[in-house]
Structure 1
Amino acid sequence: MFEGFTRRRIATSGAEINLVIGGDGPPLLLLHGFPQSHVMWHKVAGRLAERFTVVATDLRGYGDSEKVPTVEDHSSYSKRAMAQDQVEVMRVLGFDRFHLVGHDRGGRVAHRMALDHAKRVSSLTVLDIVPTLTTFERVDQALASAYYHWFFLIQPHPLPEHLIGLDPEFYLRRKTNMWGIGTAHFTQEAMAEYIRCFRNPAAVHAMCEDYRAAASIDLEHDRADRAAGVKVSCPMMALWGGRATMDRCFDVLATWRDVALEARGHALDCGHYIPEERPDEFTQALLDFLER
């Protein structure tokens, strides 16, 4: 995976971040989701690297990035802190402004980054999410049933960590199977990497803290922006799975137009894991957006 890419580890002011970088052209930062790592981009990174300098990182706490200490208000895993890591990584690599793509949790980090660091984000693409605040404010039985893990993972330590730790591979395989259209689209190499990282108790704890932050301090930041009228100002695209939960529970594009000055997007014929389920369609949609 990632043939021709270089692996780096960069220390930011908050965490050491693992990444791969390859290609040539305008910088493009790719942020993964739960319960994955930068490996989720392996089917699309090569083609994107033909036109862009592609940087695919592990978010703090995920993959091989640092598992930073947790604090009572969960701020060490706030999307603000996680976004700051990525801005600093790109600065070290020599990129003051870049295109940004985030899937799932990475999309939430990307959304926060586009708000906090608007001058650095040339464009924003989010995959199969609606804004965090929207999710919590509009949750109903259908969404809560499909996204039960949002409410399981935010339970106080050590309940979810202990239960997942009893059989982490079972939990990961169950979760990925629920959200996609089966698991055939995951290569053996990629799944092996996800399992390797997920077997680390510190990683599981970090992921829980990510969700706990989303249900607490992240909502404070989102509500403050809404009250102040702060919106995503760069060009934005949302893509989502036409066979996934977001499409059934929300008018996805409308939710993003509520929080962005300019938003476009559409569904793809797939489940949640867009770059692994439909790599060609995803890549073409992204190129069409970035090279418009």
Structure 2
Amino acid sequence: MGGIPGLDERTVSAAGVDVHVAEGGAGHPVLLLHGFPQTHLAWRHVAPSLAEDFRVVCADLPGYGASSPPAGEDSPAAYAKRETAATMVALMRELGHERFSVVGHDRGALVAFRAALDHPGVVENLAVLDVIPTVDNWAALHGAGGVFAFHLYLLAQPTDLPERMVGADPDAFFGHFLDGWTSEPDAIPADVRSAYLSASRAPGSIHAICQDYRASAFVDAAHDEADRDAGRRLTMPVLAMWQDPGDFVLPFDPRQVWASWAPDLRTRVLPSGHFLPEERPAEVTAAIRELLARS
């Protein structure tokens, strides 16, 4: 699998992390952050279009893809979204961008949310795709709904059990999500699927992914709760997009959840599976452009 057409790839050192990025275009800077179990290639359809009018930076999250793990102690706290968000802000500064917009999907959206909440003077616009803040997500999970989110519990186990279990057949584990979370069979073609699996199957990558999920269980939720209790809210324009759940009844209302954090909110619901940037790239790109028009 090659790179994203029109974007140049390199590795940039930021906050002690070697962050792999693909970047291109000119104009207002936009940081695109991928989800699980993916890499910056998740934006291969969206980024080239945005790069026609914006400076686009697609980054592999620390420990994912070709980016190194966080610097310092190997602990869930090092993978906290607060720490990863600070690394992404440092990355953009290394690239010459003091202010920028950020768009995230899944895990990347949690990092984007934290960047916007912790660095309101830096993040001008925020878009979050198919996710809600960690504290709200844990509160909503109960009963049979937990069946569909089993990986949140498995990967967060505080021992090396998940590493050992996933490591026994990583392609089957990660492939389960790549295949089962999409409503479009061709949305993730064989070469991209292979690239995602290749990036995820190494023992170090598996461990980094588990640490990311441990952070959500044991660190991120506490950060969110403290900020919510302190009345902190997102001060910039926010776009929240999610897949139409169809007949499945969500245990939460995404619009209501995001409205509690974002006074300046717009929303989109798309007929799609989980991987919105790959299944509905035209609609996702159009919605992002509409948000960025406010810059």
Aligned to 1:81: 83
Describe the superposition over 1:194-226 as per-residue Cα deviations: whole angstroms up to 9, x where unpaired.
Answer: 011112110110011011000111122112111
Runs of 4+ in 1 over 4 A off after TM superposition: 69-73, 244-247
| Cα 1:178/1:109, change in 2 over 3 Å | same
| Structure 2 contact 106–131 (Cα < 8 Å) conserved | yes
The residue that corresponds to 1:223 in the other structure is: 225
Superposed displacement of residue 182, structure 1:
4.9
Pick aligned residue for 2:139 from 129, 137, 140: 137
Cα RMSD for the two superposed structures = 1.7
The separation in 1 between residues aligned to 2:14 and 2:247, in whole angstroms, is 35
Provide the residue aligned with 2:275 in structure 1: 273
Tell me, yes or no, if the aligned pair for 1:78 and 1:217 is still in contact at 8 Å: yes
Which stretch has the larger CA shift, 151-160 or 240-249? 240-249
Are the structure 2 counterparts of residues 282 and 163 from structure 1 closer, same or farther at C-alpha, using a change threshold of 3 Å?
Answer: same
Give yes or no for contact 1:153–1:208 (8 Å, CA) kept in 2.
Answer: yes
Alpha-carbon offset, residue 72 of structure 1: 7.3
Structure 1 position 246, deviation (Å): 9.1
What is the CA–CA distance in structure 1 between the aligned matches of 2:245 and 2:258, rounded to whole Å?
19
Paired residues, number: 292
* TM-score normalised per structure 2: 0.94
**Counterpart residue identity of residue 209, structure 1:** Q
1:50 is aligned with what amino acid? Answer: E
Q: CA deviation at 1:189?
A: 2.5
Identity value in percent: 39
Counterpart secondary structure, 2:250 = helix
Query: CA shift at 1:54, angstroms?
Result: 0.5
> Taking structure 1 as the reference length, what is the TM-score of the superposition?
0.95
Shift of 1:157: 2.8
Task: Find the partner of 1:289 among 269, 288, 291.
Answer: 291
Comparing 206-215 with 255-264, greater Cα deviation is found at 255-264
Superposed, which structure 2 residues align to 1:138-217 within 5 Å? 138-217=140-219
In 2 relative to 1, CA 247–279 (structure 1 residues): closer, same or farther, beyond 3 Å?
A: farther
3-state SS of 2:112 partner: helix
Structure 1 unaligned residues grouped into runs of 5+: none
Q: Is the 8 A contact 1:32 1:102 kept in 2?
A: yes
Give the SS at the match of 1:154: coil
**Is contact 2:178-2:193 (8 Å) kept?**
no
